[in-house]
């Protein structure tokens, strides 16, 4: 990709995406400009601390071809107001949970090519699942560029927006249930005499392996369950 990307919000999600883009060589450091409401922690984020960072959202957007809004839903209206006049004909990707395409469209120029994305927290280790919905004026070439960016941290699925909230509940909240299961399995192992670290490792890898079985065999989870529990 030759375009410049502006990442507004360098919190966990925004900075993780920057890291993924650089590590996968999707973009070079000089192609990325970031802004944040808070001071950017360059020591903590040493892998990509030399990206250009400024505090002026509108200026950052003007210098970019693609805009990623990685801010909380409660501040997105303020950010949209700041950048709207600079978003003509630009791809704008929002990962603000619960903020609809219609809401974004009302705040941005008609020519803006808007994508609503819902990543989950496993993007922090490059294993996220990301649902995206698009405005009608987003063409195949635009979509290809968006996917190239987001696939640096996970698997991307294009879906209709009317199922986005359900996906948010499933993939967004789902990891918490998996962590509870890992914790419970680990506790059981400890009760049976395993060291905590080893027990947690076995529990986590058991779930990781089971998930790969579902994805790679194509078998129904119920069938795989029966294979384990057969007499």
Structural domains in the chain (count): 2
Average pLDDT of 193-217? Answer: 97
CA distance 18 to 48: 7
* Residue 168 covered by a domain: no
CA distance 125 to 149: 16
- Same domain, yes or no: 128 and 210: no
- Same domain, yes or no: 177 and 153: no
- For residue range 128-147, list pLDDT tens digits in order: 999 999 999 999 999 999 99
- Same domain, yes or no: 181 and 157: no
- Same domain, yes or no: 198 and 104: no
- Same domain, yes or no: 56 and 133: yes
- Same domain, yes or no: 46 and 102: yes
CA distance 45 to 23: 13
Residue ending a domain, among 161, 181, 216, is 161
- Same domain, yes or no: 77 and 37: yes
CA distance 65 to 85: 14
- Same domain, yes or no: 146 and 101: yes
* Residue 157 covered by a domain: yes
CATH code at 120? Answer: 3.40.50.720
* Residue 166 covered by a domain: no
- For residue range 37-69, list pLDDT tens digits in order: 554 444 444 444 568 888 899 999 999 999 999
The residues facing 54 across adjacent strands are: 35
- 18 near 150, Cβ under 8 Å? no
- Same domain, yes or no: 34 and 145: yes
- Same domain, yes or no: 181 and 135: no
Q: Which residues contact 107 (CB under 8 A, 6 or more apart)?
A: 77, 80, 81, 84
- Same domain, yes or no: 90 and 187: no
* pLDDT, position 39: 46
* Residue 91 covered by a domain: yes
Is the whole-model pTM more than 0.75?
Answer: yes
* pLDDT, position 30: 92
- Same domain, yes or no: 37 and 109: yes
* The two three-digit tokens of residue 62, written as one number: 């003007």
Residue 19: which domain range? 5-161
* Residue 167 covered by a domain: no
Average pLDDT of 152-179? Answer: 94
Residue ending a domain, among 102, 132, 161, is 161
CATH code at 180? Answer: 1.10.3730.10
* pLDDT, position 11: 87
Average pLDDT of 77-102? Answer: 95
Residue ending a domain, among 161, 184, 219, is 161
* Residue 51 covered by a domain: yes
CA distance 106 to 69: 16
DSSP characters over 63-91: T-SEEEE-S-GGGHHHHHHHHGGG-TT-E
């Amino acid at each position: 990709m030759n375009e410049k990307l502006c990442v507004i919000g360098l919190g966990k999600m925004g900075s993780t995406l920057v890291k993924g883009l650089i590590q996968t060589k999707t973009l070079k450091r000089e192609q990325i400009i970031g802004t944040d409401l808070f001071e950017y922690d360059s020591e903590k984020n040493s892998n990509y601390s030399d990206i250009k960072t400024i505090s002026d959202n509108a200026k950052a957007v003007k210098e970019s071809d693609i805009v990623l809004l990685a801010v909380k839903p409660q501040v997105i209206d303020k950010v949209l107001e700041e950048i709207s006049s600079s978003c003509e004909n630009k791809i704008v990707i929002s990962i603000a949970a619960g903020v609809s395409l219609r809401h974004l469209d009302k705040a941005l120029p008609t020519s803006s090519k808007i994508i609503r994305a819902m990543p989950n927290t496993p993007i922090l280790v490059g294993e996220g699942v990301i649902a995206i919905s698009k405005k009608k004026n987003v063409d195949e070439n635009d979509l290809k560029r968006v996917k190239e960016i987001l696939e640096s941290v996970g698997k991307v699925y294009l879906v209709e927006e009317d199922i986005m909230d359900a996906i948010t509940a499933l993939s967004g909240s789902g990891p918490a249930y998996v962590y509870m299961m890992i914790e419970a399995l680990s506790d059981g192992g400890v009760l049976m005499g395993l060291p905590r670290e080893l027990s947690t490792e076995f529990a986590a890898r058991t779930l990781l392996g089971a998930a790969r079985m579902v994805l790679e065999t194509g078998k129904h989870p119920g069938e795989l369950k029966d294979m384990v529990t057969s007499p």
